[in-house]
Amino acid sequence: MLASSLLEEIPLEEMVESVQNGDTNVQNYLLRAYQPFIAKCASEVCKRYIDPKRDDEYSIGLSAFNEAIFSYSATRGCSFLSFAKIVIKRKIIDYIRHNSRRPHSISLDEKFDEEQAENSIEVVVAKEVYQEEQDNIRRREEILEYKEKLSKYKLTFSELTKVSPKHRDARESAVKVARILHENRELSEFVYEKKKLPIKDLVNKVEVSKKTLERNRKFILAIFIILSEDYHYLKDYLKGVGE
């Protein structure tokens, strides 16, 4: 059996495939490791805290997560967790609707209110699931477009992970430089045309040294591209940073 620390290094979709091929050790690991995720999904449907030890909704979610493992396919075009969230929410909705059909007789008004409540829960969650699916699609499209834009500046994602400043203060400082660069029309035009930083002119407008600018130039360029394009989702990551 692989140790948990080793399993953490394996991509989630690969672990799901291993379970589908009969690896019960990985299956048990996933069911343990993703308990907080399952509880969170259940809470989003029920609009309250879900206790994994006491609430039936959690048990339904756990079973649904396990079912999602075996029914997931990468050809669906979404990540496993996005797919699992949909399955969990739908199963819990079914559970709520089933339990709301009380066996004792009720008035027409009560029945109408009950059905309204059921439909309300289903509609709200269905809208949330649909919106999440659409967001995931648009986010992937945006990232692909950004990747193509980076290539025009001779930059790649793998390269950015290596050159990104390790410390939070350094990252915020670099983002601040990118914002100053973006807001200056003359300097921006230089970047658009030359596909590089105007370090000589930029150093007079920022509070960092020329050496720091040169060291972080690729990261600054990458942030500048995000600020300069209509990247709704990528810009969310920069909210409040370097402002």
Which of helix, strand or coil describes residue 60?
A: helix
Which of helix, strand or coil describes residue 124?
A: helix
Number of domains composing the chain = 2
Q: Note whether 222 and 134 are same-domain residues.
A: no
DSSP output for 83-119: HHHHHHHHHHHHHHHHHHS-SS---HHHHHHHHHHHH
- Helix ranges (DSSP H) in the chain: 4-7, 12-20, 24-33, 35-46, 56-71, 80-100, 108-152, 157-163, 168-183, 185-194, 199-202, 210-215, 217-228, 232-236
CA angle in degrees (0–180, nearest 5) for 32-35-38: 140
Residue ending a domain, among 119, 140, 161, is 140
Q: Note whether 119 and 38 are same-domain residues.
A: yes
In a domain, 174, yes or no: yes
Read off the pLDDT band of 1 (50, 70, 90): very low
Question: Between 78 and 87, where is the model more confident?
Answer: 87
Q: Note whether 186 and 124 are same-domain residues.
A: no
Q: What is the model's pLDDT at position 127?
A: 61
Average pLDDT, the chain: 81
Which of helix, strand or coil describes residue 43?
A: helix
Q: Note whether 64 and 134 are same-domain residues.
A: yes
Residue the block writes with tokens 């739908």 = 90
Average pLDDT of span 163-167: 86
Q: Note whether 88 and 56 are same-domain residues.
A: yes
Average pLDDT of span 155-180: 88
Q: Note whether 125 and 183 are same-domain residues.
A: no
In a domain, 126, yes or no: yes
Average pLDDT of span 204-221: 90
Read off the pLDDT band of 59 (50, 70, 90): very high
Contact (Cβ atoms closer than 8 angstroms) between residue 238 and residue 223:
yes
In a domain, 242, yes or no: no
As a residue count, the chain comes to 243
Q: What is the model's pLDDT at position 117?
A: 45
Tally of CA atoms within 13 A in the half-sphere of 91 that contains its CB: 22
In a domain, 89, yes or no: yes
Tens-place pLDDT, residues 17-56: 999 999 998 999 999 999 999 999 999 888 889 888 888 9
pLDDT at 200 over 70: yes
Question: Between 119 and 146, where is the model more confident?
Answer: 146
Using a pLDDT cut of 90, give the percent of the chain over it.
26
Read off the pLDDT band of 61 (50, 70, 90): very high
Question: Between 121 and 170, where is the model more confident?
Answer: 170
Q: What is the model's pLDDT at position 9?
A: 65
Q: What is the model's pLDDT at position 86?
A: 87
In a domain, 19, yes or no: no
Q: Note whether 115 and 88 are same-domain residues.
A: yes
For residue 54, what are its two tokens?
């006491």
Q: Note whether 168 and 205 are same-domain residues.
A: yes
Tens-place pLDDT, residues 107-134: 444 444 444 444 555 555 556 666 676 6
For residue 155, what are its two tokens?
């930059």
* Domain housing 169: 153-236
Cβ atoms within 10 Å of 217's Cβ, excluding its own:
17
Question: Between 197 and 10, where is the model more confident?
Answer: 197
In a domain, 74, yes or no: yes
Q: Note whether 44 and 89 are same-domain residues.
A: yes
In a domain, 211, yes or no: yes
Q: What is the model's pLDDT at position 118?
A: 46
Q: Note whether 186 and 97 are same-domain residues.
A: no
pTM: 0.51
Q: Note whether 185 and 124 are same-domain residues.
A: no
Average pLDDT of span 201-211: 88
In a domain, 223, yes or no: yes
Q: Note whether 125 and 44 are same-domain residues.
A: yes
Task: Give dist(CA 175, CA 197) in Å, integer.
Answer: 14
* Pick from 53, 62, 129, 125: nearest CA to 96: 125
